Chain A
Amino acid sequence: MLNPYLPFPVAIDEIITETEDKNLKSFKFVFLNPEDEEKFSYRAGQFAELSVTGKGEIPIGIASSPTEKGYVMFTVNKVGLVSSCLHSMKAGDIMGIRGPLGNWYPWDVLEGKNVVIIGGGFAFTTLRSSIVYMLDPANRKKFNDIHVIYGARTPGMLLYREELTAWEKRDDIHMHITVDGTDDPDWKYNVGFVPTITEQKAPPGSADTYAIVCGPPIMIKFTQPVLDNLNYSHDHIIMSLEMRMKCGIGICGRCNIGKEYVCKDGPVFTLAQLNEMPREY
């Protein structure tokens, strides 16, 4: 019997400090047993449990894209026991990853459609995975217009800044990067909260346009009315939820919203689905 609680052993290959407050680091892992990479085959939007021996496990969205081979990457905010320990670890250290877990953004539905990605703060990880996946030469033609609205408090708090700059220069993706505020005179992108920029830049809703929204609760709260005004129907608004998790496979019982387990039946739900569920998240 396969043990679904057993992580794949991995080594930390590279650690990148992402933000100016140094609270967000990206970790690239390589599998100790190369055949495990195949077993970890994932889709953009899924997550995994990062296992730090002696501390525990934390559920973290996969930030690398399935099109990036040879490693998997996660961007981790330093908040608790496991993430703090992880932040003090170094390249070469051995740990584990267990997954992939949960569902993913509905890539079959999104084919042939316009995709509007709306993200805020450090919830941009699985969105990065999605963008890299869609921009892959083998995949780009499967999607129509791609818009990205991504905001952070300051320029230094944006994740993956070099990639953002590179995407800005492309003509097959519409980037709308924004910060809440900055005193940097060289800042050449938007200033304003994500809902405001969404209002200004997002294409109107249509049968062929889907929004993927991922961010802090306050951003989601104020973005939803904007999308309503833009005539996005609720089954065209796709969201990814967070919840305290342990098992990650729908067994330990703590991450439910109504009868759905966020770890197994989610983390991706449409707003139409969420409307039918208790508001307990």
Chain B
Amino acid sequence: MELIKIDKKAWAGGLEKLSASYALYGPVKEQHFCNFRALEKGEAPDLSGLNSRLSPKGVVFPQSQVMFTYTVDENQAEHHILQEAGEKASDRAVIGIRPCDAAAFLMVKQNFDTPEFKDPYWLKAYEATVKVGLACNDPCQSCFCTSTGCGPFSETGLDVLLADTGDFFLARALTDRGEHFLKTAGWNQAAEADPLESMKKKAEEKIVSAVSTEHLKDKKTTDLFDAPFWEEVAFACINCGTCTYVCPTCWCFDIQDEVQGKSGVRMRNWDSCMYPLFTLHGSGHNPRDKKPQRVRQRFMHKLKYFVDRYDGGIQCVGCGRCVRLCPVNIDIRTVCELMNNFELSQC
């Protein structure tokens, strides 16, 4: 579709128009760090920073979400019967998500949207969200998106791709919804030139790190599972769970009931395979009661189980958040190399 030029002077005005039709989300600087949240009236997304600490997955999959409400008051009709907490997912647009995070939405969709079961909370929010991406001109040192089927100018999972040229944005609608979004904003000035390819090439050249994944599929699951390196990989891990919370492709959640007075909710909260409670049986038995087992689970899931289950590559978009934010410097790239190169010794 046609490349549009958005003068930065016309940016605020466009957002103003958009806010009449969409709930706008974007990165906002809060206490030194960028985080994705709903924009207040007149607030512009902060597109100056590199990527946010937490991924924007929470726009579709909130960290805490009420699924059902109920009353335990036996004088009420329908007591003890769950009612869907069905707030309608209003049309929303998330502005400034990076291509890696957009690709992550599609990756995660495979989990929430299966032939047998559809997760209505995730899907309604996902379908209500227009994804307006911002290409990365200056990827981080720890980004490795070009080796995960993604890239700094990747269009996967996006409705609009924006690129910042300094004085103006270039915008390409990638879907009908994206086109509608640009029209609603009143951004319709055709760009005179199309420098996107050269910008993309420049950005890709700045990506200095990569993972090799080509052998993962052919490895035997039980061989990798029993590989001798897990103790060492997990040695420094403190099971803090940061990697899972910041990851755009981690989707695990817990379901809990909470009652105050006579009214209760059933809600879900992000959970993490790093925690021993995650798999603790009622009997006290725990199949992953030791730290190395939990660390192994995280990497095996992302780099082997997911590869085998969906046959579309690893469950990682190369955003580098877990690499940057791990307090003990555990690096998924290193672990991926170990797994990809692992050979069962012939002794």
B172 is an interface residue with CB less than 8 A from chain A: no
A254 in contact with B255 (CB, 8 Å): no
A94 in contact with B117 (CB, 8 Å): no
Stretch at the interface among A49-57, A136-144, A206-214, A228-236: A49-57
A96 is an interface residue with CB less than 8 A from chain B: yes
Chain A 166-178, CB within 8 Å of chain B: the 1/0 string? Answer: 0000000000000
Chain A residues with CB under 8 A of B253: 246-247, 252-253
B305 is an interface residue with CB less than 8 A from chain A: yes
Chain B 242-271, CB within 8 Å of chain A: the 1/0 string? Answer: 000000000111111101000010101001
Stretch at the interface among B64-72, B128-136, B191-199: B64-72
Q: For window 194-228 of chain B, which residues contact chain A by CB distance below 8 Å?
A: 221-222, 225-226
**Interface range on chain B (Cβ under 8 Å from partner):** 35 or more
Q: For window 6-41 of chain B, which residues contact chain A by CB distance below 8 Å?
A: none
A94 in contact with B118 (CB, 8 Å): no
Given contacts A5-B67, A94-B79, contact A250 B254 (CB under 8 A): no
24 A-B contacts (beta carbon < 8 Å):
A1-B118, A2-B118, A5-B67, A53-B80, A54-B70, A54-B72, A56-B256, A93-B80, A94-B81, A242-B281, A244-B278, A249-B117, A251-B117, A252-B253, A252-B255, A253-B253, A253-B273, A254-B252, A254-B273, A257-B287, A258-B225, A277-B221, A278-B221, A280-B293
A251→B222 CA distance, assembly (Å): 23
Stretch at the interface among B108-116, B182-190, B333-341: B108-116
Given contacts A2-B118, A4-B118, A278-B222, 11 further A-B contacts (CB under 8 A): A9-B81, A53-B80, A54-B72, A77-B282, A217-B285, A246-B255, A249-B116, A252-B252, A257-B287, A259-B221, A277-B222
A253 in contact with B257 (CB, 8 Å): no
B255 in contact with A1 (CB, 8 Å): no
B301 is an interface residue with CB less than 8 A from chain A: yes
Q: Give me the interface of A with B, judged by CB distance under 8 Å.
A: 1-7, 9, 32, 51, 53-58, 77, 79-80, 83, 93-96, 217, 242-244, 246-247, 249-259, 264, 276-278, 280-281
Chain B residues with CB under 8 A of A79: 282-283
B82 in contact with A259 (CB, 8 Å): no
Given contacts A251-B111, A276-B221, contact A96 B117 (CB under 8 A): no
A5→B222 CA distance, assembly (Å): 33
B118 in contact with A96 (CB, 8 Å): no
Given contacts A251-B111, A258-B221, contact A54 B264 (CB under 8 A): yes
A83→B286 CA distance, assembly (Å): 18
Give, as a whole number of angstroms, the nearest-CB distance from B318 to chain A: 21
Given contacts A53-B70, A54-B264, A277-B221, contact A244 B279 (CB under 8 A): yes
* Residue among B72, B82, B116, B256 facing the most chain A CB atoms (10 A cut-off): B82
B301 in contact with A4 (CB, 8 Å): no
* CB-based A-B contact count at 8 angstroms: 132
Give, as a whole number of angstroms, the nearest-CB distance from A265 to chain B: 10
Given contacts A5-B68, A53-B70, A259-B221, contact A281 B112 (CB under 8 A): no
A256 in contact with B82 (CB, 8 Å): no
B123 is an interface residue with CB less than 8 A from chain A: yes
Chain A residues with CB under 8 A of B46: none
Q: Which of A5, A54, A242, A276 contacts B257 (CB 8 A)?
A: A54
A242→B293 CA distance, assembly (Å): 18
A276→B80 CA distance, assembly (Å): 43
